[in-house]
């Protein structure tokens, strides 16, 4: 028997029972579409997070006071000592490496902001001129904090768009004097960037020079220091440089934590990668279910078509040919179902991308391949049992309908 004839015969058999064929196609298609769409969602989430992180700025290192280590305690914590504060001097010391492109110290606090009779609580970030470039932010109006020494206070501020809307309304904000606590700051710029920083919506912050913030909140300590390395390769040496420098300045205590953006990103990457595998696997179970359905329906088909099988044997079909016919039928079914599912799944992910443009729901190639492979393999596997039953039928009994 020639393979095109096998295919034609199998196709004819499928068309001969349209209801059962359509049902099985549907089951297979839904399974494959589920894998495609769910992995697209997982992959979308992964890329979304990656995008968010890279919008933080590249080659970024974050210096946080205190030692965040799970293994073993440092002598300092054993002695019940609280970690030393990060200071502006520490921050300035970090500029003394050619591998460091720029740094931006940060303090954080809450204050009441008022303009005229309008008032609200805002998050105040004390930082420096460099933060704008470091975070790849843009300004909607005006300019960012002035390029002055970081230990210099200056009564100026840059406000987020939302603050502007809420405190100034239709009145011009640039050049106006904003009241923060007991002090007054002149608005010199309005942030245009979306995005979040350290969990705070940038649009709802007011930024002032770090020295001014330290006066405002009456504290010499920094919340953290952001450091940008000159290149990706420089990240590790810079990390070491930061640790060495601060330890030296803190009398040999290593009481800071340096987070590299890469490490954080890699962690998220792993989490979302695993998530994608997991949902892909869960969806693959539906393919398995479709396979079991195929097996069931094929078993019914074998008993329905007993006489036909007996006849084929009488006409000279060897057991292997009968096997090939039924397996081809199942394979054809899973291939058609998988193709339909592929189209359905791709349309689904396209729809998601259209509805949520920020969410890059692209099915990874491995998932597409795996879905097709699994559907074809289940079709093959689950048709083997019914096909073997057909191949082993006794032709005399099959023909007599006994």
Binding positions for another protein, rule: CB under 8 A: 1-2, 4-5, 9, 12-13, 15-16, 307-308, 310-321, 395-396, 399
Judged by beta carbon, residue 104 or residue 391, the one nearer another protein is: 391
Judged by beta carbon, residue 14 or residue 338, the one nearer another protein is: 14
**What's the rounded Cα separation, in Å, for the pair 16 and 54?**
56
Contacts of 81 (CB under 8 A, 6+ apart): none
**What's the rounded Cα separation, in Å, for the pair 13 and 6?**
11
Contact 206, 163 (CB under 8 A): yes
Shortest gap between Cβ of 325 and another protein (angstroms)?
A: 10
Shortest gap between Cβ of 402 and another protein (angstroms)?
A: 12
Shortest gap between Cβ of 328 and another protein (angstroms)?
A: 13
Count the residues in the chain. Answer: 402
Judged by beta carbon, residue 82 or residue 304, the one nearer another protein is: 304
Judged by beta carbon, residue 315 or residue 358, the one nearer another protein is: 315
219, exposed or middle or buried, with CB in 10 Å at 0-12, 13-18, 19+?
middle
Alpha carbon of residue 70 to chain centroid: 26
Shortest gap between Cβ of 309 and another protein (angstroms)?
A: 10
Contacts of 127 (CB under 8 A, 6+ apart): 104, 105, 106, 107, 145, 207, 209, 210, 213
Shortest gap between Cβ of 305 and another protein (angstroms)?
A: 9
**What's the rounded Cα separation, in Å, for the pair 30 and 337?**
8
Pairing mode, strands 118-127 and 205-209: parallel
Shortest gap between Cβ of 54 and another protein (angstroms)?
A: 59
Minimal CA–CA distance to 134: which of 219, 52, 200, 230? 230
Contacts of 199 (CB under 8 A, 6+ apart): none
Tokens of 260: 């590299």
Cα→Cα distances 292→296, 327, 384, 388, Å: 6, 14, 12, 16
Judged by beta carbon, residue 2 or residue 96, the one nearer another protein is: 2
Shortest gap between Cβ of 395 and another protein (angstroms)?
A: 5
Judged by beta carbon, residue 55 or residue 321, the one nearer another protein is: 321
φ/ψ (deg, to 5) at 42: -60, -45
Shortest gap between Cβ of 9 and another protein (angstroms)?
A: 7
Shortest gap between Cβ of 6 and another protein (angstroms)?
A: 9
**What's the rounded Cα separation, in Å, for the pair 236 and 338?**
47
User: Tokens 């969410």 identify what position?
Assistant: 359
Judged by beta carbon, residue 271 or residue 300, the one nearer another protein is: 300
Judged by beta carbon, residue 135 or residue 313, the one nearer another protein is: 313
């Amino acid at each position: 028997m020639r393979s095109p004839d096998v295919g034609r015969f199998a196709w004819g058999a499928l068309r001969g029972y349209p209801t059962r064929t359509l049902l099985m196609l549907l089951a297979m298609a839904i399974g494959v579409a589920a894998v495609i769409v769910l992995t697209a969602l997982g992959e979308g989430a992964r890329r979304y997070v990656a995008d968010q992180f890279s919008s933080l700025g590249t080659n970024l290192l974050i210096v946080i006071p205190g030692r965040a280590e799970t293994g073993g305690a440092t002598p300092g914590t054993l002695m019940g000592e609280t970690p030393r504060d990060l200071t502006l001097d520490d921050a300035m010391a970090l500029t003394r490496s050619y591998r460091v492109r720029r740094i931006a110290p940060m303090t954080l606090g809450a204050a009441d902001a008022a303009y005229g009779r309008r008032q609200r609580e805002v998050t105040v970030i004390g930082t420096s001129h460099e933060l704008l470039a470091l975070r790849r932010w843009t300004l909607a109006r005006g300019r960012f904090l002035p390029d002055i020494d970081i230990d210099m206070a200056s009564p100026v501020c840059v406000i987020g768009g939302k603050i502007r809307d809420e405190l100034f309304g239709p009145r011009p904000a640039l050049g106006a004097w904003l009241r923060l606590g007991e002090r007054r700051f002149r608005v010199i710029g309005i942030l245009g960037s979306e995005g979040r920083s350290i969990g705070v919506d940038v649009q709802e912050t007011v930024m002032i020079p770090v020295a001014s913030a330290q006066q405002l909140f009456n504290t010499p300590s920094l919340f953290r220091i952001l450091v940008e390395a000159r290149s990706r390769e420089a990240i590790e040496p810079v990390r070491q440089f930061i640790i060495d420098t601060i330890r030296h300045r803190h009398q040999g205590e290593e009481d800071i934590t340096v987070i590299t953006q890469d490490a954080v990103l890699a962690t998220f990457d792993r989490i979302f990668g695993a998530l994608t595998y997991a949902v892909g696997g869960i969806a693959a179970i539906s393919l398995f279910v479709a396979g079991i359905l195929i097996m069931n329906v094929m078993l019914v088909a074998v008993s329905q078509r007993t006489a036909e099988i007996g006849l084929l044997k009488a006409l000279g079909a060897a057991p292997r040919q009968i096997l090939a016919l039924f397996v081809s039928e199942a394979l054809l079914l899973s291939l058609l179902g998988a193709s339909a599912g592929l189209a359905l799944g791709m349309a689904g992910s396209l729809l998601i991308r259209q509805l949520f443009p920020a969410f890059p729901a692209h099915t990874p190639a491995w998932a597409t391949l795996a879905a097709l492979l699994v559907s074809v393999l289940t079709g093959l596997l689950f048709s083997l049992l019914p096909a073997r039953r057909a191949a082993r039928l006794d032709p005399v009994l099959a023909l007599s309908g006994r």
